[in-house]
Amino acid sequence: MSSKTSQPSTSNQPAVLLENVSIHYKINTGRGQSFKGFIIDLINRKVQTSFVKALDDISLTIYTGEIFGIIGRNGAGKSTMLKAISRIIAPTRGRIRVWGQVAPLLGVGVGFEAELSGRENIFLYSALLGRSERHTRKLFDSIVDFAELSDFIDQPFRTYSSGMKARLGFAVAMAEIPEIFVVDEVLGVGDEMFRAKCQDRFEEFKRSGATIVIVSHSADQIMKTCSRAMWLLDGQVSMVDKTPTVIKAYREYFRNLRNMPTTIRKKDN
C-alpha cells in the first residue's frame, strides 16, 4: 500500500532525507539467550546467526518546519528510525541526510544516569545535546521550572517516577528551540497540564521554523499533533500522507485484521 507524499508544511526545504535506508541486526539463534549457551556454541563452533530487518528500503523526506508523525505497532521499526535520524546508529544500506542540529528525546530516562541527581543530569544531558556548561547554567532555572521539579532537583534520578523522568527529559531537550527535535514514545507521560505545556512548546517550535518528528503507537496522539504522518509496518513504509488519511488507513487495517480468522491473521503477521 502506498500514497503520495503531499507537503502541507510551511517550507519546501528538506530537513531530513532518507534514501533507500535499510538497517539489519545480527542476532544469535543458537543454543539460547544465556551467556553460557553462547560460549558453549562458540567453543563448539556452532554459533548460529540470523538477520532481522528493522528497516527495509525506507525513502522519506521530512520538511523544515513541519510536525511529522511515525505510527506503527511495537517492533515496526519506529524507534530504530529515530535513532538513525539522530545518528546514534548507522544504516546498513542507503543514506540519511540531515540539515540542522538534532535534539533527541528517545524514551524516558535515556541519556540520564540513575545515581546522579536531577541537577547533575541536567548538565549531563545538556552536554550530550552539545551545550556548554556555561550555557546550561543560563538555562538551568527555566529547565527546572518547566519540569516542575524544584523540590526534587537534588534527589537521585533513580528515585524519580516515570512522569518526573519524562518531565526532566522534555525540559532539558526543549529548553531552547532546536533545528530538529525527535521524540520517541514519551508524549503520554505526565498529567494533562504538563502535556498541554509540551503541546504549546511544540507549537512555539513550529512557529520558529523547527522540525519535529514524533514516534508513537497512539493514533490519537499523532492525529492531535502532526500535520503529516508515516505508517511503518514490519520495517517498511505502508503509507505517507496527511495525518487523517494515514490514521484512517491504519485503523481500518487493524480493524480488518481483528475480523480475520485466526489462522489467516497469524499468517499475515
pLDDT tens digits, one per residue of 34-81? 555 556 555 665 556 667 889 999 999 999 999 999 999 888 999 899
Confidence of residue 193 (pLDDT cuts 50, 70, 90): confident
Give pLDDT, residue 159.
Answer: 96
Neighbours of 216 (CB within 10 A): 22
For the 107-177 domain, the top CATH level (class) is mainly alpha
- Parts of the chain belonging to CATH 3.40.50.300: 1-101+178-269
Burial class from Cβ neighbours inside 10 Å (0-12, 13-18, 19+) for residue 146 reads buried
Mean pLDDT rounded to a whole number for the chain? 84
Please tell me the pTM assigned to this model: 0.77
- Residues 201-223 pLDDT 10s: 878 888 888 999 999 888 988 99
Query: When comparing pLDDT for 191 and 173, which is higher?
Result: 173
Give pLDDT, residue 262.
Answer: 58
Is residue 205 within 8 A of residue 175, CB to CB? The reply is no
- Residues 87-109 pLDDT 10s: 889 999 999 999 998 988 887 77
- Parts of the chain belonging to CATH 1.10.8: 107-177
The Cα–Cα gap between 240 and 131 comes to 34
Query: When comparing pLDDT for 158 and 194, which is higher?
Result: 158
Confidence of residue 7 (pLDDT cuts 50, 70, 90): very low
pLDDT over threshold 60, residue 6: no
pLDDT cut 90: percent of the chain above it: 52
| Three-point CA angle 132, 96, 66, nearest 5° | 75
- Residues 116-147 pLDDT 10s: 999 999 999 999 888 999 999 999 999 999 99
pLDDT over threshold 50, residue 84: yes
Give pLDDT, residue 229.
Answer: 97
Give pLDDT, residue 205.
Answer: 86
Give pLDDT, residue 49.
Answer: 63
- Residues 233-257 pLDDT 10s: 999 999 999 999 999 999 999 888 8
| Three-point CA angle 243, 245, 248, nearest 5° | 105
CATH topology assigned to domain 1-101+178-269: Rossmann fold (3.40.50)
| 3-state secondary structure at position 252 | helix
CA 102 → CA 39, 136, 174, 198, distances in Å?
39, 17, 12, 18
Confidence of residue 269 (pLDDT cuts 50, 70, 90): very low
